[in-house]
Amino acid sequence: GAVVSQHPSRVICKSGTSVKIECRSLDFQATTMFWYRQFPKQSLMLMATSNEGSKATYEQGVEKDKFLINHASLTLSTLTVTSAHPEDSSFYICSARADRGGANTEAFFGQGTRLTVV
């Protein structure tokens, strides 16, 4: 099956610093990538959707200036948490979808990144 690689799997950073998380589709071209945030005992929350070469579409309540998303190529999307604060500590997961003839196809998920801001 398709593989999506997310890096790093864990990161600890100091308050006020920025952290970049990478999401790569290893064996397919991902025209659409999704970034989610998971809070304990809660569902995955979609943060934003990005299409290659265009600006990301953010969900309501997600600060676009704080969570910078770059989908520069068909195999790479990055999420940068800027000026991180302890409340940004969470589990972030990306997923990638290869659009095939317009049909709604399955999405493949990365391993997730556990971000801890101290």
Partner 1 sequence: GEDVEQSLFLSVREGDSSVINCTYTDSSSTYLYWYKQEPGAGLQLLTYIFSNMDMKQDQRLTVLLNKKDKHLSLRIADTQTGDSAIYFCAESMDNDMRFGAGTRLTVKP
Q: Where along the sequence are the contacts to partner 1 (CB under 8 A)?
A: 1, 4, 6, 32, 34, 36, 41-44, 46, 49, 93, 95, 104, 106-112
Residue 6 vs 77, nearer CB to partner 1: 6
b/e code 12-38 from CB counts within 10 Å (16+ = b): ebeeeeebebbbbbeebebbbbbbbbe
Quick one: tokens of 91? 């589990």
Whole-number minimum distance, CB 83 to partner 1, in Å?
27
Residue 44 vs 98, nearer CB to partner 1: 44
Residue 17 vs 29, nearer CB to partner 1: 29
Whole-number minimum distance, CB 54 to partner 1, in Å?
12
CB atoms inside a 10 Å sphere around CB 112: 16
Of 25, 31, 24, 22, give the one whose Cα is nearest residue 50.
31
